[in-house]
Amino acid sequence: MSVAVLLLLGLGLLEAEGRCFFSHAQKYCVCYNLSEESLSSLIQCLPASVVEFRGGELEKYVAFPISDPDPSTIEMLGSLVVRKIIFGELLVPEILLAWILRFFSYTQVQELVFESCIFEGRGNWDEMAGQDLPILSLHFHNVTSPPLMGREQDFSSLSSWLEILQELAVTASHVTSLPCVIGRVFKDLRSLDVAQNSLGDESLMATFCKGAFPQLQVLSLQRNNLTSYHRVCESVQLLPELQHLDLSQNKLKADPSSSCQWPVSLRIFNLSSAGLDEVLTPLPPSLEVLDMSCNHLHAVDISFSSLKKLFLSQNMLQAAPSIKNYPMLDTLHLDNNSITELPWNEVKHLQDVAAADNPYNCSCSAAGGLQALATLGHLGQSWPQDYTCHSPPHYRGKLVKDVPVSVLHCNSAAVIAPVCIALALLGVAGGICLLRSRPGLVRHCCRV
């Protein structure tokens, strides 16, 4: 924002009426259709910590002569409170981008986002060599740009900045490959999100070459074109710090001949919606969170001494996995499976259990177990409305909550036996009395 204000102040373009909207509560300013007309109201964005530019014609300013800011401008830029800038629905000439970034070196902007933008042409990045930028987080979503191949020189001009970048996201942007050299520039990157692209098994190998992303902790490959579980394993093997890997929404298959081992640092593993018919092996050895929701699993027969959270909703499980195999477990989600009974004695020690939309057998012990879990407050939001009985027939469709589990209903043997004995004794006593008063009856009875 400051950049544009200053630029256009300098150009004498700020007289006309504009359309920026500032929310004091959120410290958020949004400006529509960046143009000469919309720029005067940019002034009101000065107290904002987030500024968003949506739509407009950036390309018109490419030809303006641009010089470095003078010392008083630099001081002013340094005092601005804006920390995050979003550019949306814009055509961005790369020349202008290079210049904008130079301006940012005087600000305290930490986060830069480009959404639905088209990058055009080729900028001159030489002047960025050795420049430090305060930006730590860079996001691109639904963008198109000229290919990155063959741009080693540009990346090396930007390297003193890119070396300290912490977070990079390039999502939904038809990325099919990321050259190895790019990864080597991002020496300090902690989080890389390349979800919703077209990365395949082979290109992944090239991206995570030796020395690429040495500090990477979080990697999202969600919804790409990955198919081989073991090729992915081989690709990320060289990431020594990797803690969180998201492979969800890829159609993964195992290759039994591979002996690839996942990085031991891996703690959080997301395999949801990955088309799995069975649990793939090997799994990372020190997992704490494992998400295998939305697959076709019939059984989960694994043990993990370190596992704390296990997500298995939307599968075809007939029974809950054995809790004994997970001594550290605190969270277990089993919604939408084919489970008829929860082993409540085992799961009652967990903090968070979700098991809605299963075909419960509402025999006394099963319904009683679920009701007890609910009383302990472990069943969360979907209790009671999404816990229904499937059997026995007279409870079908009824809420588990409404199944009577009192001693009278459930333990009929314990209740009926004493009642029968009491009745029998009464009968005997009554009989004796009758016999005494009317002895003739005995004969009558014996004849019958």
Ligand X SMILES: *[C@@H]1O[C@H](CO)[C@@H](O)[C@H](O)[C@H]1NC(C)=O
Q: Whole-number minimum distance, CB 436 to ligand X, in Å?
A: 47
DSSP-derived secondary structure for 3-52: HHHHHHHHTT--SS---EEEETTTTEEEEEEESTTTSGGGGGGTT-SEEE
Instruction: Compare residues 83 and 398 and give the one whose CB is closer to ligand X.
Output: 398
Q: Whole-number minimum distance, CB 362 to ligand X, in Å?
A: 8
Residue 364, helix vs strand vs coil: helix
Chain residues 364-403 in contact with ligand X, contact rule CB under 6 A: 365, 382, 386, 391
Q: Name the segment binding ligand X (CB under 6 A); options: 67-75, 98-106, 241-249, 430-438.
A: 241-249
Burial class (CB in 10 A: 0-12, 13-18, 19+), 37: middle
Do residues 390 and 396 touch, judged by C-beta distance below 8 A? Answer: yes
Question: Does residue 55 touch ligand X according to CB under 6 A?
Answer: no
Question: Does residue 177 touch ligand X according to CB under 6 A?
Answer: no
Question: Does residue 361 touch ligand X according to CB under 6 A?
Answer: yes
Q: Name the segment binding ligand X (CB under 6 A); options: 123-131, 209-217, 333-341, 399-407.
A: 333-341
Q: Name the segment binding ligand X (CB under 6 A); options: 52-60, 149-157, 229-237, 270-278.
A: 270-278
Instruction: Compare residues 108 and 116 and give the one whose CB is closer to ligand X.
Output: 116
Q: Whole-number minimum distance, CB 386 to ligand X, in Å?
A: 5
Please report, for residues 166, 235, 263, 323, 428, the alpha-carbon distance to residue 219 in angstroms, rounded to integers and kept in the order given: 12, 12, 13, 29, 81
Q: Which distant-in-sequence residues (6+ apart) come within 8 Å of 342 by Cβ?
A: 320, 334, 353, 355, 366, 369, 370, 373
Question: Does residue 340 touch ligand X according to CB under 6 A?
Answer: yes
Instruction: Compare residues 200 and 214 and give the one whose CB is closer to ligand X.
Output: 200
Give CA–CA dist 125/289, Å, rounded: 42
Nearest to 269 by CA among 286, 294, 293, 290: 290
Question: Does residue 2 touch ligand X according to CB under 6 A?
Answer: no
Question: Does residue 291 touch ligand X according to CB under 6 A?
Answer: yes
Do residues 198 and 171 touch, judged by C-beta distance below 8 A? Answer: no
Q: Whole-number minimum distance, CB 267 to ligand X, in Å?
A: 11
Instruction: Compare residues 234 and 291 and give the one whose CB is closer to ligand X.
Output: 291
Give CA–CA dist 143/376, Å, rounded: 49
Chain residues 185-224 in contact with ligand X, contact rule CB under 6 A: 198, 200, 222
Q: Hey, how many other C-beta atoms are within 10 angstroms of the C-beta on 400?
A: 25
Do residues 337 and 310 touch, judged by C-beta distance below 8 A? Answer: no
Q: Whole-number minimum distance, CB 427 to ligand X, in Å?
A: 33
- Letter for the amino acid at 102? R
Torsion of the alpha carbons at 237, 239, 240 and 244, rounded to the nearest 10: -100
Instruction: Tell me which of 44, 73, 156, 225 binds ligand X, using CB under 6 A.
Output: 225
Q: Name the segment binding ligand X (CB under 6 A); options: 33-41, 99-107, 204-212, 246-254.
A: 246-254
Residues that bind ligand X (CB under 6 A): 116, 118, 142, 198, 200, 222, 225, 227, 246, 248-249, 270, 272-273, 289, 291, 311, 313, 335-336, 340, 356-357, 361, 363, 365, 382, 386, 391
